[in-house]
């Protein structure tokens, strides 16, 4: 891909610029108008085409084994209004400039636009690409003056691979499970997907740990101690697993006259500034801060991007490249009410950079000051505060202290901590450690015993997974991408495989049955390793290390083997599933009867 000259872009033939969203189109239109460019600006609404199985592959028409052998699918217009609009615009003539989002999914949407353009104009016309990571006027103007020729076909093939793979595997496994279970119970759909199923498995595995956990009682002796200066603090023994022993220790400590400091150490540790923002990191934090689902948060971040308040929110980059413009986000931050009076530690930007660079986007950063309210404001403030903390503030410093104390030969311990240098915590205090200072002590110092208590407790099972936990596990295990991971926690609840219990995910009996029965057929159906291989193929396509067709063939052949393993156990699997879908039958029967549409039953089975 090469850039055109200024004359090519600004003074040549009429341009037809097509953006991915109407709001982005409006921003481009304002720049085109200011530049007096000869251009028409239009937009789509995301994908206007959807991959679908060929005619003759409707529900019940083909065995799932025939579906899994498909290597070619058909594209069907899913947004006729946008399609007709583009045909009309293209019929007026002009050179196509694609201005969709700057990632593989945006490239595929751009390819769909190109297909319509070719239908109207005929042949293989030259097309151009605008690339930008925010709708800031200066960035859009620079992008317009430096158009690239053609699309990044590696990105197109990467996105197309995912689209076809998810459609074919989702359709094959979902139909096998659904049609087999329908023989035993009224069920609309039993959905399977190579991303959603491992995500559900994390929830099920944690639930099993909780169910299998055996609590064990223990006792702790706690003492309230006072220095000669009057400062008080608490110290405690380690866990004591025998009640009689605990009571003996308690009585001995209660009768003691004084306590003596036997050890005291103090140290400092650095609390590093947060790194520049990747999508996954931001969503994990914001689900904790707002309580809103990651999928909804990402949608709201895209809204802030489209309206010009933040940069493109789908990125795996956590380092600023050489030449990054820090002044635009800095102006946005310092104009915000919450940050106007903050006094940065650094006059010039000095970011703490990470090691990741996805090669397409910078980290997320604020572009303009947002003055709204609600969750949108919470999102923008988080992004603004984190940018400011990373680039213009020092690390924080925390002081920690530990003491060992003897009471009539019994070992007690105490520890405390406090922030001694605020640094970035002045503006980014979301997860600030709580101060719990321990008084200054000296070895040999005598302390007055104010009170001694015995506390009975028991060991606790691990907690259920939060959405932040799930997102972290998905990234760690290579499930999905920064652009797709947010959808799967919501999807498993929509499928009745899990429910939210406050902030936590709990599997339903149906979700437990699905995972347990599939695991008996082949654990590769539920564990993340198999999907990770698919993600690796997509990365190799993007790097040009393997072909689209070879990757698709290898991936679908592997899942064909797994489909046969599933089919071998399908009678047992469907019996278990039928037992748990019956409670939902009445609710489902109230819905409109009939087969689920091919589109709706497949597009989320990822």
State the chain's mean pLDDT as an integer.
91
Q: What local confidence, expressed as pLDDT, does residue 338 receive?
A: 86
283 and 307 in a single domain? The answer is yes
Q: What local confidence, expressed as pLDDT, does residue 559 receive?
A: 96
Determine, yes or no, domain membership for 66. Answer: no
Instruction: Identify the residue whose tokens are 């002590």.
Output: 441
500 and 571 in a single domain? The answer is yes
CATH of the domain at 436: 2.70.20.10
Q: What local confidence, expressed as pLDDT, does residue 182 receive?
A: 93
Conformation bin of residue 378: beta by default, left when phi > 0, alpha when psi is -120 to 50 = alpha
- Asked whether residue 587 carries a pLDDT value surpassing 50, the answer given is no
Q: What is the DSSP letter of 593?
A: P
34-38, 210-214, 294-298, 329-333: the lowest-pLDDT one: 34-38
- Asked whether residue 107 carries a pLDDT value surpassing 60, the answer given is yes
Q: 467-476 and 487-494 helices cross at what angle (nearest 10)?
A: 120
Query: What is the arithmetic mean of pLDDT over 268-292?
Result: 96
163-172, 392-401, 580-589: the lowest-pLDDT one: 580-589
Give the H or E element holding residue 476. helix 467-476
Of 431, 432, 397, 399, the C-alpha closest to 415 is: 399
- Asked whether residue 470 carries a pLDDT value surpassing 50, the answer given is yes
Q: What local confidence, expressed as pLDDT, does residue 288 receive?
A: 94
Half-sphere exposure of 553 (CA within 13 A, CB side): 5
The range of the structural domain enclosing residue 442 comes to 217-272+396-458
Q: What is the DSSP letter of 139?
A: H
- Asked whether residue 589 carries a pLDDT value surpassing 70, the answer given is no
Query: What is the arithmetic mean of pLDDT over 363-378?
Result: 96
Take residue 408 and report the two structure tokens written for it: 């009539």
Q: What is the DSSP letter of 137?
A: H
Given 458, 474, 503, the domain boundary residue is 458
What is the rounded CA–CA span in Å between residue 168 and residue 71? 8
| Per-residue pLDDT tens over the stretch 405-464 | 999 999 999 999 999 999 999 999 999 999 999 999 999 999 999 999 999 999 999 999
25 and 129 in a single domain? The answer is yes
Query: What is the arithmetic mean of pLDDT over 75-104?
Result: 94
What is the rounded CA–CA span in Å between residue 125 and residue 516? 53
CATH of the domain at 513: 1.10.460.10
Q: What local confidence, expressed as pLDDT, does residue 594 receive?
A: 36
Query: What is the arithmetic mean of pLDDT over 96-111?
Result: 94
DSSP 481-529: -TTTTTHHHHHHHHTTSEEEETTEEEE-HHHHHHHHHHHHH-GGGTSHH
**Share above pLDDT 90 across residues of the chain, in percent, rounded to a whole number:** 86
- Asked whether residue 142 carries a pLDDT value surpassing 50, the answer given is yes
472 and 591 in a single domain? The answer is yes
Residue 292: strand, helix, or coil: coil
What is the rounded CA–CA span in Å between residue 98 and residue 255? 82
Q: What local confidence, expressed as pLDDT, does residue 598 receive?
A: 32
Q: What angle do CA 603, 53, 106 make, to 5 degrees?
A: 50
Determine, yes or no, domain membership for 50. Answer: no
541 and 419 in a single domain? The answer is no
What is the rounded CA–CA span in Å between residue 499 and residue 109? 33
| Per-residue pLDDT tens over the stretch 230-258 | 999 999 999 999 999 999 999 999 999 89
Query: What is the arithmetic mean of pLDDT over 285-314?
Result: 94
Q: What local confidence, expressed as pLDDT, does residue 11 receive?
A: 55
What is the rounded CA–CA span in Å between residue 385 and residue 194? 37
Q: Under a CB-based contact definition with an 8 Å cutoff, are residues 69 and 97 in contact?
A: no
484 and 577 in a single domain? The answer is yes
Phi, psi for 333 (deg, rounded to 5): -70, -50
Phi, psi for 189 (deg, rounded to 5): -155, 140
137 and 221 in a single domain? The answer is no
H helices of 183-323, in order, are 196-212, 243-255, 279-290, 294-306
294 and 382 in a single domain? The answer is yes
DSSP 152-195: -HHHHHHHHHHHHHHHHHHHHHHHHHHHHHHTTS--S-----TT
- Asked whether residue 585 carries a pLDDT value surpassing 60, the answer given is no
Determine, yes or no, domain membership for 56. Answer: no
Take residue 291 and report the two structure tokens written for it: 């309580």
Q: What local confidence, expressed as pLDDT, does residue 599 receive?
A: 31
Q: What local confidence, expressed as pLDDT, does residue 551 receive?
A: 96
Q: What local confidence, expressed as pLDDT, does residue 409 receive?
A: 94
Q: Under a CB-based contact definition with an 8 Å cutoff, are residues 298 and 486 in contact?
A: yes
Q: What local confidence, expressed as pLDDT, does residue 583 receive?
A: 53
Query: What is the arithmetic mean of pLDDT over 271-294?
Result: 96
Our count of domains for the chain comes to: 4
Residues 6 or more apart in contact with residue 480 via CB below 8 angstroms:
195, 474, 487, 488, 535, 606
CA–centroid distance for 32 within its chain = 35
Take residue 87 and report the two structure tokens written for it: 């045909």
Determine, yes or no, domain membership for 69. Answer: no
Q: Under a CB-based contact definition with an 8 Å cutoff, are residues 219 and 243 in contact?
A: yes
Determine, yes or no, domain membership for 59. Answer: no
What is the rounded CA–CA span in Å between residue 403 and residue 412? 8
Q: What is the DSSP letter of 320?
A: P
Of 112, 107, 540, 546, the C-alpha closest to 360 is: 107
Given 359, 376, 392, the domain boundary residue is 392
Of 468, 454, 153, 130, the C-alpha closest to 289 is: 468
Q: What local confidence, expressed as pLDDT, does residue 1 receive?
A: 43
Take residue 104 and report the two structure tokens written for it: 């593989």
Given 151, 176, 196, the domain boundary residue is 151
Determine, yes or no, domain membership for 61. Answer: no
What is the rounded CA–CA span in Å between residue 109 and residue 20? 8
- pLDDT confidence tier of residue 9, bands split at 50, 70 and 90: very low
| Partners of 452 in beta bridges | 223
291 and 162 in a single domain? The answer is no
Q: Under a CB-based contact definition with an 8 Å cutoff, are residues 479 and 198 in contact?
A: yes
Half-sphere exposure of 206 (CA within 13 A, CB side): 19
Q: For 354-379, b where at least 16 C-beta lie within 10 A, e where not — what string?
A: beebbebbbbbbbbbbbeeeebbebb
Q: What local confidence, expressed as pLDDT, does residue 595 receive?
A: 38
177 and 135 in a single domain? The answer is no
First vs last Cα of the chain: how many Å apart? Answer: 32
Q: What is the DSSP letter of 3?
A: B
| Per-residue pLDDT tens over the stretch 31-81 | 999 988 899 999 999 999 999 999 999 998 999 999 999 999 999 999 999
Q: What is the DSSP letter of 342?
A: -
Query: Cα dist. 8→100, 114, 133, 168 in Å?
Result: 21, 20, 23, 43
- pLDDT confidence tier of residue 358, bands split at 50, 70 and 90: confident
What is the rounded CA–CA span in Å between residue 407 and residue 260? 7
Three-state helix/strand/coil letters over 540-575: HHHHCCCCHHHHHHHHHHHHHHHHHHHHHCHHHHHH
Q: What local confidence, expressed as pLDDT, does residue 484 receive?
A: 86
Residue 591: strand, helix, or coil: coil
What is the rounded CA–CA span in Å between residue 51 and residue 599? 9
Determine, yes or no, domain membership for 35. Answer: yes
Q: What local confidence, expressed as pLDDT, does residue 42 receive?
A: 96
| Per-residue pLDDT tens over the stretch 531-563 | 999 999 999 999 999 999 999 999 999 999 999
* Helix and strand element counts for the chain (H, E): 20, 15
What is the rounded CA–CA span in Å between residue 598 and residue 54? 11
CATH of the domain at 39: 3.40.50.140
Determine, yes or no, domain membership for 336. Answer: yes
- pLDDT confidence tier of residue 481, bands split at 50, 70 and 90: confident
96 and 127 in a single domain? The answer is yes
CATH of the domain at 381: 1.10.290.10
What is the rounded CA–CA span in Å between residue 395 and residue 350? 11
143 and 182 in a single domain? The answer is no
Residue 366: strand, helix, or coil: strand
- pLDDT confidence tier of residue 85, bands split at 50, 70 and 90: very high
CB atoms inside a 10 Å sphere around CB 345: 15
Q: What is the DSSP letter of 440?
A: -
Q: Which residue has the higher pLDDT, 484 or 508?
A: 508
């Amino acid at each position: 891909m090469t850039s055109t000259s200024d004359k090519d872009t600004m003074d040549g033939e009429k341009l037809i610029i097509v953006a991915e969203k109407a709001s982005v189109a409006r921003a481009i239109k304002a720049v085109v108008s200011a530049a007096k460019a000869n251009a028409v600006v239009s937009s789509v609404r995301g994908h206007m085409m959807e991959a679908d199985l060929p005619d003759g592959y409707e529900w019940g028409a083909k065995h799932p084994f025939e579906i899994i052998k498909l290597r070619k699918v058909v594209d069907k217009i899913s947004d006729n209004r946008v399609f007709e609009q583009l045909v009309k615009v293209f019929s007026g003539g002009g050179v196509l400039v694609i201005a969709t989002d700057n990632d593989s999914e945006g490239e595929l949407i751009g390819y769909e636009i190109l297909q319509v353009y070719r239908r109207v104009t005929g042949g293989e016309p030259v097309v151009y690409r605008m690339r930008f990571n925010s709708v800031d006027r200066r960035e859009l103007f620079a992008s317009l003056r430096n158009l690239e020729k053609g699309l990044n076909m590696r990105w197109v093939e990467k996105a197309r691979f995912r689209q076809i793979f998810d459609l074919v595997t989702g359709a094959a496994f979902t139909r096998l499970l659904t049609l087999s279970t329908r023989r035993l119970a009224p069920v609309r759909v039993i959905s399977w997907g190579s991303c959603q199923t491992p995500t559900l498995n994390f929830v099920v595995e944690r639930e099993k740990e909780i169910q299998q956990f055996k609590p064990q009682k223990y006792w702790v002796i706690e003492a309230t101690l006072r220095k000669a200066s009057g400062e008080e603090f608490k110290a405690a023994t380690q866990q004591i697993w025998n009640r009689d022993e605990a009571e003996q220790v308690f009585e001995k400590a209660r009768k003691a006259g004084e306590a003596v400091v036997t050890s005291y150490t103090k140290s400092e540790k650095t609390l590093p500034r947060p790194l520049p923002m990747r999508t996954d990191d931001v969503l994990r934090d914001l689900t904790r801060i707002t309580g809103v689902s990651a999928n909804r948060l990402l949608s709201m971040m895209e809204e802030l991007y489209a309206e010009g308040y933040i940069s493109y929110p789908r990125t795996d980059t956590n380092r600023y490249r050489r030449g990054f413009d820090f002044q635009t986000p800095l102006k946005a931050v310092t104009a915000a009410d919450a940050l106007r009076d903050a006094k940065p530690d650094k006059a010039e930007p000095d970011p703490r950079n990470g090691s990741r660079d996805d090669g397409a986007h910078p980290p997320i950063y604020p572009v303009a000051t947002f003055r709204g309210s609600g969750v949108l404001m919470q999102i923008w403030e988080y992004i603004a505060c984190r940018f400011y903390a990373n680039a213009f503030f020092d690390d924080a410093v925390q002081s920690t202290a530990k003491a060992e104390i003897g009471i009539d030969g019994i070992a007690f311990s105490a520890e405390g901590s406090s922030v001694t240098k605020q640094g970035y915590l002045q503006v980014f205090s979301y997860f600030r450690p709580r101060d719990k200072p321990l008084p200054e002590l000296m070895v040999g110092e005598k302390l007055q015993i104010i009170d001694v208590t015995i506390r009975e407790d028991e060991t606790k099972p691990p907690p259920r997974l939060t959405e932040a936990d799930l997102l972290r596990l998905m990234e760690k295990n290579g499930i999905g991408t920064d652009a797709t991971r947010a959808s799967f926690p919501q999807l498993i609840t929509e499928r009745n495989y899990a429910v939210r219990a406050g902030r936590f995910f709990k599997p339903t009996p149906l979700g437990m049955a699905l995972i347990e029965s599939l695991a008996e057929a082949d654990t590769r159906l539920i564990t993340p390793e198999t999907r990770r291989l698919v993600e690796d193929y997509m990365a190799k396509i993007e790097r040009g290390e393997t072909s689209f067709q070879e990757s698709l063939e290898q991936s679908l052949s592997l899942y064909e083997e797994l489909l046969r393993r599933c089919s071998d156990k399908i009678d047992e699997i469907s019996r278990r599933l039928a037992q748990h879908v019956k409670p939902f039958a009445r609710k489902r029967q109230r819905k409109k009867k009939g087969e689920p549409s091919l589109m709706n039953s497949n597009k989320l089975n990822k």
